[in-house]
Amino acid sequence: MQLFLSFLPFVYTVLAGLNTQGISVVRLDFAPFGQVPPHTHPRASEIIYVDQGTLYVGFVTSDEDGNRLFAKILRPGDVYVFPFGLIHFQFNPNPTPAVAFTALSSQNGGLVVLASALFGSNPAINPVVLAKAFQLDTKTVKLLQQKFA
C-alpha cells in the first residue's frame, strides 16, 4: 500500500525516557496527496497539530451514533482530536507537502489499518464473508485481497 507519507516516531522503543509515561509522539511528513488511511488505535486517543500545509482529517462515530463523520480541513497551527478507538484518517489534499505532529495517549496505542487488516490478513478471510460485509461480489473481494497480500 502506498501512503506517500514518511514518519518519525518518538515512542518508548526509540526514546527510552518515554517508557511508562503513557505517551507517544510521531512526526508525519505528507507527500502531495499523501495520506494515513482509515485506521484506529485500540488503546489510545490521538491529537494532531499541523505545522505546515493543509490536511483533511476526520473520524467516524460508532453505529449507535449513526456512523457520523466529523471532518475538518486543518491549516498550520490547527489542532484536532481523534477519540479513543474510533476510525480516523488524515489526507493531504494539495499538490504541496504537509507536516504534522501527532501524540497518542499511550506508549503503545496500537495501529489497525482497516483495509490491510481486512483484505491483507494472513491467512486470508474467506472472500464470501467480506463480499457480504461490503456488499461486493467475490471477484472484487479477491482482487482487493491480491492487492493487499
- Known binding positions for Mn(2+): 39, 41, 46, 88
Per the CB < 8 A criterion, the answer to whether 30 and 99 are in contact is: yes
DSSP 8-class letter at 143: H
Cell of 110: 496500537
Distance, in Å, from the CA atom of 71 to the CA atom of 60, rounded to the nearest integer, reads 9
Cell of 83: 477519540
Return the amino acid letter for 131: A
Binding site: residue ranges? Answer: 39, 41, 46, 88
Angle subtended at Cα 105 by Cα 103 and Cα 108, rounded to the nearest 5 degrees? 95
**Side-chain half-sphere exposure of 16, counting CA atoms within 13 A:** 0
Binding site for oxalate: residue ranges? Answer: 41, 46
